[in-house]
Structure 1
Amino acid sequence: MNSKLTDRFSTTMLTIALFVIALVYLFPIVWLLLSSLKPGNELFTYPLNILPNNPTLGNFEYAWAAMDFMKYFLNTLIVAVLTTVLTVIASASCGYALAKYRYKWLFVFFICMLATTMLPTEVIMNPTFSVILNLGLYDSLAGLIIPSINTATGVFMFRQYFMTVPDDLIESARIDGASEGKIFLQLMLPIAKPIIITLAIFSFQWRWNDYIWPLIVLNDPEKYTVQIALRSLVGADNIDWVLILSSSIITLVPMIILFIVFQRYIMDTSATSGLKG
């Protein structure tokens, strides 16, 4: 009886703790959403009110008219989609080679590649920028896409998954006369569909939310991504908070749609969300 009471008490306390943590994370988002519905004269009233007294959707109409969102969305979509497709292809092929080819130097290469995950992104930005500058890719969308294709996270995910595929399956395909390319494209890739979807989701999120690298590479406002476009709204002397708040909500819409559509895959692979891209 005491054991049951103890288990029930522990479950109740853990549930309460989870609710508190969820509220802590949710509060800033709710505040942002409610603030975007406030007229400008309510944003800095004292005392501050969480709920808007006169909620309005006009802020979003104002933001859409003031900013060329379609241009920024298109730029970001091009970068996110192309990078995601190329990342999946590069990571799958490299992960397959590391998992199924027996060369000693491949293991050394794999260890060196994993070692890069220990370096902060800021450390490699300077040499990466030098390469992009020398290749003439500065201030171009290609300068955003190419350095982001190769990610140790994606290679690691595919390698670990392909390691679970029996070698006998590949040997049988070779005996039947299948080429290495055919084995990879028609056998291994379909098997790795869960990893493909997982990496594609996270890669798209990484590129859509990327801020530092586009800020360094892009100079032409016509090529801005949504995150850089938001940053450009912050002036030295004056800040249009209504525009910033409502624009921020608009830029979140694609990510919300992505989460709703692929919620099952995102929740099933939440353990990998801490890996950097």
Structure 2
Amino acid sequence: MSATSGPGTSLEGGPLDAVARAAAVDAVGGLPPERRKARFTVKRVLVVTVLVLLTVVFIYPFVWLVSASFKPRGEVFDNKLVPETFTLDNYVQVWQEAPMALWLFNTVLVTVLAAVTVTLSSALVAWGFSYFRFRGRNALFGLVLATMMLPGAVTMIPTFLIWNALGQVGTLTPLWAGNLFGSAFYIFLLRQFFLGLPRDAFEAATIDGANNWQLFWRIALPLTRPAIVVTLLFEFQAAWTDLMRPLIYLRDSSTFTVPRGLKALVDQYGFGGEWHWEIIVTASVITTVPMIVLFFLGQRHFIEGIATTGSKG
């Protein structure tokens, strides 16, 4: 830094120096500040326009679905977002034509059990791979990741034979009990977060007398809350919308989940039946709204978990 200053000069870092640097940037860019500001405004307008268009594309199907649920049968496919004949009869009729309450209860039960079990089991395995040092750890972890390459169709029949031998076909158990053994994708996701935790915190807790379970439950899990929420939301959505396994294992309508129940409604009132599409779209709205509410409740942790996944480890 210069010790002297004269007319038209300023100490480095002073106001005149900042003005001079800003003027130099403008001179290099070849545009006056007004033009640069106008270009920035145009670019921002274009970005906002594209985002609005994409938003409309994504939300239009759901808006159409909600609108169709308030229309009589003859107007369901008129493609008008504002119903000409507004009616609530569809929401009354769908509860009369199908055991929606029972299906929703079965779905909530299966979804909660599936989400909780896969989150805890995957977190335990991920914690073991991230915290403990043992021979063959990387090879074993690679083997776990390799299971992600197996298509679901490859294990579908062996898995069915196992549950059939256990006498669980026709019950809700096969829809969630497999999650007790974790998921390779969630193990990888959670391991990345565990690797980013400061090891000094665990060493200090060990000196204070904490055992391995206390390290996991009281330190590791609370510090990886965003990843835990992401895992819960992912599995909640997957279990809530799962149709394949209910089609394979469920036989009686009293054990149907919502996706399996919607398939039954389509068979009864849709292509294979009486063409009462207003009942089907109404049932679809009822089953979609809980997922939207759940996402809004957990969106802060969800976005934080997704945004920081790549920076861990």
1:47-66 matches, within 5 Å, as 48-66=79-97
1:262 lines up with 2:298 in the alignment: yes
Q: In structure 2, what is the equivalent of residue 182 of structure 1?
A: 214
Q: In structure 2, what is the equivalent of residue 9 of structure 1?
A: 42
- Which of 144, 152, 162 lines up with 1:121 in the alignment? 152
With structure 2 as the length reference, what TM-score do the two structures score? 0.79
Asked if the contact 1:233–1:239 (Cα under 8 Å) also holds between the matched residues in 2, the reply is: no
Give, in angstroms, the shift of residue 259 of structure 1. Answer: 2.3
Q: In structure 2, what is the equivalent of residue 30 of structure 1?
A: 63
Asked if the contact 2:230–2:306 (Cα under 8 Å) also holds between the matched residues in 1, the reply is: no
- Report the residue type matching 1:264 in the other structure: R
Give, in angstroms, the shift of residue 272 of structure 1. Answer: 9.6
Deviations 1:207-239 (A, max 9, x none): 111111221121121111001001001232433
Q: In structure 2, how many angstroms separate the alpha carbons of the residues matched to 1:272 and 1:186?
A: 21
Which of 64-73 and 149-158 deviates more? 149-158
Asked if the contact 2:144–2:184 (Cα under 8 Å) also holds between the matched residues in 1, the reply is: yes
SS in 2 for 1:103: coil
Runs of 5+ in structure 2 lacking a partner? 1-31
Asked if the contact 2:226–2:302 (Cα under 8 Å) also holds between the matched residues in 1, the reply is: no
Q: In structure 2, how many angstroms separate the alpha carbons of the residues matched to 1:210 and 1:272?
A: 28
The count of residues paired between Structure 1 and Structure 2 equals 271
Q: In structure 1, how many angstroms separate the alpha carbons of the residues matched to 2:299 and 2:196?
A: 25
Q: In structure 2, what is the equivalent of residue 228 of structure 1?
A: 260
Which of 166-175 and 220-229 deviates more? 166-175
- Which of 155, 163, 178 lines up with 2:195 in the alignment? 163
Q: In structure 2, what is the equivalent of residue 239 of structure 1?
A: 275
Runs of 5+ in structure 1 lacking a partner? none
Highest RCO, 1 vs 2 (Cα 8 Å, sep ≥ 6): 1
Asked if the contact 2:175–2:245 (Cα under 8 Å) also holds between the matched residues in 1, the reply is: yes
With structure 1 as the length reference, what TM-score do the two structures score? 0.89
RMSD: 2.2
Change (3 A) 1:237 1:186: closer
Q: In structure 2, what is the equivalent of residue 100 of structure 1?
A: 131
- Report the residue type matching 2:287 in the other structure: T
- Report the residue type matching 1:161 in the other structure: F
Q: In structure 1, how many angstroms separate the alpha carbons of the residues matched to 2:81 and 2:207?
A: 68
Give, in angstroms, the shift of residue 188 of structure 1. Answer: 1.9
- Which of 155, 170, 175 lines up with 1:144 in the alignment? 175
SS in 2 for 1:102: coil
SS in 2 for 1:262: helix
Give, in angstroms, the shift of residue 271 of structure 1. Answer: 5.8
Q: In structure 2, how many angstroms separate the alpha carbons of the residues matched to 1:250 and 1:257?
A: 12
Give, in angstroms, the shift of residue 35 of structure 1. Answer: 0.8
Identical aligned residues as a percent? 33
Q: In structure 2, how many angstroms separate the alpha carbons of the residues matched to 1:41 and 1:272?
A: 49
Change (3 A) 1:247 1:80: same
